[in-house]
Amino acid sequence: MVITRVADRMAERIKTLVYLDALVPEHGDSCHGLLRKALAPEVARQFLEGIRGVAREQHSGMVAPLSAEMFNVRPERLDRVNRRCMPQALATFEMPILLSGRAEAIKRRIFILADAWDPSPFRFFAKKYEGVAG
């Protein structure tokens, strides 16, 4: 979401967009909306309930990070990865991204799929950008 928005603001300075396990939005998309596109309805519902659940239960408006264990991070790296995972505002998942379309000028897009966990919403986007790198 972030690099797409940055690219939209400064496309003339970017030659290639590299997405690593990412949701790739279009104008008006939100993380929540993209999860619904990328996953089966029941799986998307579980993700969304999990994301909203912590914020609601703790009345904090913050979403707890997913653990490294969920992503099948190697055991020797679990502590290091988990220490870097921080809560994030629920609004960042729900707010739509507003794009001007300038990023469409960046034709070279690479998607790196770290495919060690399931169900991954990122496969949907990896497939979309398969063979796009120039």
Structure tokens at 91: 């609004």
Query: Above pLDDT 90, what percent of the chain?
Result: 61
> Side chain identity at 133, as an amino acid letter?
A
| Long-range contacts of residues 56-64, Cβ cutoff 8 Å, at least 24 apart | 60/87, 61/89, 61/90, 61/91, 62/87, 62/88, 62/89, 62/90, 63/87, 63/88, 63/89, 63/90, 63/93
Supply the pLDDT for residue 45. Answer: 93
| pLDDT mean across residues, the chain | 90
Instruction: State the DSSP string of 19-85.
Output: EES-----TT--HHHHHHHHS-HHHHHHHHHHHHHHHHHHTSSEEPPPPGGGGT--GGGHHHHHHH-
Supply the pLDDT for residue 104. Answer: 93
pTM of the model: 0.81
Q: Dump pLDDT digits (tens) for 6-57.
A: 999 999 999 999 999 899 999 999 999 999 999 999 999 998 988 888 788 8
Distance CA 96, CA 107 (A): 23
